[in-house]
Amino acid sequence: MSDRVRIGSRGSALALVQSEWVRDRLQALHPGLVAEIEVIHTKGDRLLDAPLAKLGDKGLFVKEIEEALREGRVDLAVHSAKDMPTETPAGLDLVAFTAREDVRDVFVAHPRAPLRRLADLPSGAVVGTSSLRRRSQLLALRPDLEVVDIRGNVQTRLRKVEEQEMAGTILAAAGLARLGRADAAAFAFTFDELLPAVGQGSLAVEARTGDEAVAALLAPLADTASALAVRAERALMRALQGGCQVPIAAHAVVVAPAPGDPGPAPLLLRAFVGSLDGAEAVRREAVGSSAEPEELGTRLAAEMLAAGGDRILAAVRAEAGGG
């Protein structure tokens, strides 16, 4: 193994903070190692005018980085776990999911709007979000709101809230915290209000299959509980054939086992599937063994499809033109 590794990263401020976090920890864990970040621009970074749902699901923010990894131009890649397609390309592996930050979504209000809870938004208030997941759940709670598409990095979206006189926007608490902007949040949504994106709050670190030297470098960054939760969420998303074109949300967490229970800790998974206008939705939760996270995700997905999720998703895909 060389004493130098190259890290593939998107070029946004948030992506660079995340990649720098990995770089700094690798160099602290492995004295003498030099880790360099190479910025790679993805399709999702270049096409900022179109709604995310119109751009397709397949590696919108990761494809070009994965190509660089497969071609050997970088040695590992750092992604937001929520950006990862449910199928990993041949020749690549997700070798580490980092410990999750706060997984909740938060509401960032217009500076002149003293909001402290969802009920404070007046009827007809305009909220910006590019996420169909957030749109559906928000409208399920407050159908009287107007939701408009807003894209760009965190700073761009915050600026657009002011320029376009929106009531506010919805962002991931983890992203704001990593940027040192946690104080921008007016309030956090509860999980009963908005469930997060699959993988939200965790970083996914990717490497070439069989590159045991890089995998060994990254092993100390992997968090077992976060990995189990994200694996359950990704299995649910895979079974629902989800992505940014459909409103799907999920959150899993390892819970404390019953006193004296010698088996693996239980894993609680909650999920949401909704129509674009939030008028129809299926919410379910299930508990399974943390030893079989994929089984839990697949099982809950089947329950949701049988409860009407199949019809909702078919209608969403037809409306979005995704077939």
Decide the pairing of beta strands 126-128 and 168-172: parallel
Distance CA 55, CA 130 (A): 12
55-59, 179-183, 251-255: least confidently modelled range: 55-59
Distances (CA, A) of 33 to 12, 94, 219: 25, 21, 15
DSSP class of residue 96?
Answer: E
Q: How far apart (Å, rounded) are the C-alpha atoms in residues 207 and 211? A: 7
CB atoms within 10 A of CB 144: 11
Instruction: Tell me the average pLDDT of the chain.
Output: 92
Q: Which two tokens stand for residue 270?
A: 């909650």
For 152, other C-beta atoms within 10 Å of its C-beta total 14
Please identify which of the residues 3, 45, 83, 277 carries the catalytic annotation: 83
Structure confidence at residue 59 (pLDDT):
65
Q: For the residues 38-62, what does the mean pLDDT come to?
A: 64
The tokens for 43 are 């399709």
pLDDT confidence tier of residue 145, bands split at 50, 70 and 90: very high
Q: What is the DSSP letter of 119?
A: G
User: Domains of the chain (ranges plus CATH)?
Assistant: 4-100+202-222 (3.40.190.10), 105-188 (3.40.190.10), 229-320 (3.30.160.40)
Position 284 scores a pLDDT of 98
Give the residue among 60, 145, 79, 52 at the shortest CA–CA distance from 107. Answer: 145
Whole-angstrom distance, CA of residue 170 vs CA of residue 187: 10
Strand partners, 106: 171, 188
Give, in order, the Cα–Cα distances in Å from 112 to each of 55, 109, 128: 33, 8, 16
Percent of the chain with pLDDT over 70: 93
- 272: which 2 tokens? 């949401």
pLDDT (0 to 100) of residue 323: 43
Residue 271 near residue 284, CB atoms below 8 Å:
yes
Euclidean distance between CA atoms 78 and 164, whole angstroms? 33
User: What is the side-by-side order of every strand in the sheet holding 266-274?
Assistant: 248-254, 266-274, 281-289
User: Looking at residue 289, what DSSP letter applies?
Assistant: E
Condensed to tens digits (0 to 9), the pLDDT of residues 146-177 reads: 999 997 888 889 999 999 999 999 999 999 99
The answer to whether residue 35 scores a pLDDT higher than 60 is yes
Task: Name the β-bridge partners of 172.
Answer: 105
Report the candidate in 153, 110, 157, 103 with the shortest Cα–Cα distance to residue 129.
157
pLDDT in tens, 205-247: 999 999 999 999 999 999 999 999 999 999 999 999 887 678 9
In the predicted structure, residue 55 carries a pLDDT above the cut 50: no
pLDDT tens-digit series, residues 87-143: 999 999 999 999 999 999 999 999 988 899 999 999 999 999 989 999 999 999 999
pLDDT at 321: 66
pLDDT at 320: 74
Q: Is the pLDDT of residue 49 over 60?
A: no
C-alpha to C-alpha distance for 174 and 120, rounded to whole angstroms:
24
- For the question of residue 83 being annotated catalytic, the response is yes
**Percent of the chain, pLDDT > 90?**
81
Q: Which residues pair with 249 in a beta bridge?
A: 272
